[in-house]
């Protein structure tokens, strides 16, 4: 056989594998037996089939798939190995084997197909239960219970302040994404992502309460209603409070966002106060002792804003709380100031350790002119007679979609409800549903919030809401 450069290609058979090698034409003519018919030059044919090229291409792929044999052959060539002359029978055998894929070719194709599959990107927002199909979910942050004269350094303080600042600065691009967004859009984006990750299924899995997005002196319980055009601006301090649940098992967490670095000390004070409360919590620990430690840490901070220095004060009428199935605020409160509550934490309980700090007076109240956004069906509601058909229909919607979990007017709009305000007010007047107003400190003050959910296990406490970012 002759290639494009009129060089003969000689067939060799080594280790039961046939491949071709260029041979000098003169040497071949001298060694050629009389009964050997010269190989004619074949015309090149374009192969329509994918993966099949000209004879030269086939030679390259064949040599590549048998590189081990080729290296073995090169060793023999250096030792004076004399190649066998090409014969018709050998060439026929070569053509016959060319039609079949060798095992090495199959392995190469499998390897290529595997590499393509491995290069596939994982879809964003895939439900968490699909990522952990065997229900082997990662464990949250494990912390030891407090002991007498225990070293103050814990897992929470595993990084230095410089490292924390570096991590915060790395996330600045993510934060700037939200600048000048409508608050309503921020809440809707966060809620939509959470629904996808949880794989929302009515009362089986979903959001535990509306996303709180309280700004500046508003400390808690604000989420925008439809038509609210409030914008997240550069000098705002925004508290993001979000909760999820699976079969009523609630995880409650919160953090504070700001673009202006002048509020950093305020955020640090509240964050460290929350971490102190988590560190102090444990089986048989008195709630009043936790509140005392939280207050001590928070009041040790001062923040300078626009040339004026403020002491950070805990908002004393807000607190952490225990959590029960389908009941985000259960029977125990975790104070953030010193008080006389001798109630103790018990094994197996779930708590939201939550702290609020303010540059104002440290007390938050509802204003008279505001509209409600948060609602929740009373946990101990008994059957109440109702005459209004629309009120009954709205109550059925609440029972089917929220149960005793909190909800907001945006969520009713999302379910296709319209002209429901009179019916909702009727349910509130009858005590079936309770409205929760937004709570404000004094004007021109700023407040921050941090919160984590912990489980008091028999030998340790687990922070189930702890993440890499807060």
Number of domains in the chain: 3
Residue 350 has phi, psi (to 5 degrees) of -115, 130
Known binding residue 241? Answer is yes
109, 155: one domain: no
Residue 56 lies in a domain: yes
Asked if residue 123 has pLDDT above 50, the reply is yes
Give the pLDDT confidence score for residue 179 in this predicted structure: 56
Boundaries of domain holding 375: 371-436
Residue 2 lies in a domain: no
79 is catalytic: no
Summarised one tens digit per residue, pLDDT across range 176-232 is: 555 557 888 888 999 999 999 988 888 999 999 999 999 999 999 999 998 888 888
Known binding residue 272? Answer is no
Known binding residue 264? Answer is no
Residues 269, 284: Cα–Cα separation, whole Å: 27
Residue 249 lies in a domain: yes
Indicate the helix (H) or strand (E) that contains 118: helix 103-118
Q: What's 241's domain CATH number? A: 3.90.230.10
Which has the closest alpha carbon to 40: 93, 98, 86, 96?
Answer: 86
Q: How far lies 104's CA from each of 113, 174, 392, in Å?
A: 14, 48, 72
19, 149: one domain: no
Look at residues 78, 94, 118 and tell me which one is the last residue of a structural domain: 118
Q: How far lies 151's CA from each of 143, 284, 313, 337, in Å?
A: 13, 20, 27, 24
Give the pLDDT confidence score for residue 14 in this predicted structure: 43
Q: How far lies 318's CA from each of 71, 314, 329, 353, 356, in Å?
A: 78, 9, 12, 11, 7
321 is catalytic: yes
Lowest mean pLDDT among 40-54, 93-107, 162-176, 178-192: 40-54
Residue 259 lies in a domain: yes
371 is catalytic: no
329, 234: one domain: yes
Residues 6+ apart with CB under 8 A from 264: none
Of the candidates 73, 241, 272, 441, the residue annotated as catalytic is 241
Give the pLDDT confidence score for residue 383 in this predicted structure: 80
333, 456: one domain: yes
106, 247: one domain: no
Residue 198 lies in a domain: yes
Of the candidates 10, 141, 236, 252, the residue annotated as catalytic is 252
107, 233: one domain: no
Residue 191 lies in a domain: yes
Give the pLDDT confidence score for residue 11 in this predicted structure: 44
149, 233: one domain: yes
Which has the closest alpha carbon to 324: 271, 219, 256, 245?
Answer: 245
87, 181: one domain: no
Q: Which two tokens stand for residue 176?
A: 């700037």
Q: Are 273 and 335 in contact (CB under 8 A)?
A: no
Mean pLDDT value of segment 145-150: 51
Asked if residue 162 has pLDDT above 90, the reply is no
134 is catalytic: no
In angstroms, the first-to-last Cα distance of the chain is 72
Q: Are 91 and 18 in contact (CB under 8 A)?
A: no
Known binding residue 144? Answer is no
Residues 209, 194: Cα–Cα separation, whole Å: 12
Asked if residue 234 has pLDDT above 70, the reply is yes
Q: How far lies 453's CA from each of 127, 233, 237, 319, 448, in Å?
A: 21, 29, 23, 13, 17
Burial (0-12, 13-18, 19+ Cβ within 10 Å), 462? middle
Residue 202 lies in a domain: yes
pTM of the full structure: 0.66
Known binding residue 321? Answer is yes
Which has the closest alpha carbon to 274: 255, 289, 261?
Answer: 255
Look at residues 118, 136, 154 and tell me which one is the last residue of a structural domain: 118
441 is catalytic: no
200, 233: one domain: yes
255, 313: one domain: yes
Q: Which two tokens stand for residue 68?
A: 């081990």
Residue 224 has phi, psi (to 5 degrees) of -70, 140
Residue given tokens 């709570």 in the structure block:
439
Q: What's 385's domain CATH number? A: 1.10.10.10
Give the pLDDT confidence score for residue 86 in this predicted structure: 46
Which has the closest alpha carbon to 42: 95, 83, 85?
Answer: 95
267, 355: one domain: yes
Known binding residue 10? Answer is no
Give the pLDDT confidence score for residue 81 in this predicted structure: 44
Q: Are 376 and 407 in contact (CB under 8 A)?
A: yes
Banded pLDDT at 156 (limits 50, 70, 90): very low
Q: How far lies 109's CA from each of 18, 55, 83, 393, in Å?
A: 20, 20, 31, 61
Banded pLDDT at 387 (limits 50, 70, 90): confident
Residue 469 lies in a domain: no
456, 349: one domain: yes
Q: Which two tokens stand for residue 271?
A: 């964050």
- Would you tell me how many other CB atoms lie within 10 Å of the CB of residue 246? 16
Of the candidates 73, 191, 272, 329, the residue annotated as catalytic is 329
The per-residue DSSP string of 61-97 comes to HHHHHTHHHHHHHHHHHHTTPPPPPP-HHHHHHHHHH
Q: Which two tokens stand for residue 143?
A: 């912390």
The per-residue DSSP string of 127-167 comes to -HHHHTTTS-PPP-EEEPPP-TT--S--GGG-S-HHHHHHH
Residue given tokens 């002119």 in the structure block:
369
Known binding residue 354? Answer is yes
């Amino acid at each position: 056989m002759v290639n494009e450069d009129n060089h003969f290609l000689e067939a060799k058979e080594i280790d039961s594998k046939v491949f071709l090698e260029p041979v000098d034409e003169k040497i071949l003519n001298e060694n050629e037996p009389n009964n050997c018919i010269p190989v004619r030059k074949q015309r090149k044919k374009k192969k329509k089939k994918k993966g099949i090229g000209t004879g030269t291409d086939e030679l390259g792929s064949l040599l590549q798939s048998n590189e081990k044999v080729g290296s073995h052959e090169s060793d023999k060539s250096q030792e004076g190995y004399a190649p066998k002359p090409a014969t018709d029978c050998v060439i026929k055998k070569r053509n016959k084997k060319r039609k079949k894929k060798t095992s090495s070719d199959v392995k190469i194709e499998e390897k290529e197909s595997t590499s393509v599959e491995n290069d596939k990107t994982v879809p964003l927002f895939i439900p968490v239960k699909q990522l952990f199909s065997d229900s082997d979910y990662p464990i949250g942050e494990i912390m030891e219970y407090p002991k007498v004269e225990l070293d103050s350094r814990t897992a929470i303080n595993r990084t230095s302040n410089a490292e924390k600042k570096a991590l915060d600065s790395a996330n600045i691009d993510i934060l700037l994404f939200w600048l000048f967004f409508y608050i309503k859009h921020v809440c809707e984006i966060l809620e939509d992502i959470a629904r996808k990750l949880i794989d929302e299924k009515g009362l089986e899995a979903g959001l535990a309460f509306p996303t709180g997005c309280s700004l500046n002196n508003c400390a808690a319980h604000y989420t925008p209603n439809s038509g609210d055009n409030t914008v997240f601006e550069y000098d705002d301090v925004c508290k993001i409070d979000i909760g999820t649940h699976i079969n009523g098992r609630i995880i409650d967490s919160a953090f504070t966002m700001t673009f202006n670095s002048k509020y950093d000390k305020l955020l640090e004070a509240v964050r460290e106060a929350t971490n102190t409360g988590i560190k102090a919590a444990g089986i048989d620990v008195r709630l009043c002792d936790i509140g005392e430690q939280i207050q001590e840490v928070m009041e040790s901070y001062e923040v300078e804003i626009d040339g004026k220095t403020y002491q950070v004060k805990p908002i004393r009428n807000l607190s952490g709380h225990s959590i029960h199935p389908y009941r985000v605020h259960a029977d125990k409160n975790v104070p953030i100031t010193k008080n006389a509550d001798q109630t103790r934490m018990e094994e197996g309980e779930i708590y939201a350790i939550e702290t609020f700090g303010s540059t104002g007076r440290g007390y938050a109240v509802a204003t008279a002119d505001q509209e409600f956004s948060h609602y929740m069906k009373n946990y101990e509601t008994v059957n109440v007679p109702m005459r209004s058909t629309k009120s009954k229909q709205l109550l059925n919607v609440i029972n089917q979609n929220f149960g005793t979990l909190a909800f907001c007017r945006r969520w009713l709009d999302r379910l296709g409800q319209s002209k429901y305000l009179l019916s909702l007010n009727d349910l509130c007047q009858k005590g079936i549903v309770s409205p929760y107003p937004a709570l404000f400190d004094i004007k021109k003050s700023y407040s921050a919030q941090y919160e984590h959910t912990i489980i008091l296990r028999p030998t340790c406490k687990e922070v189930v809401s702890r993440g890499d970012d807060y």
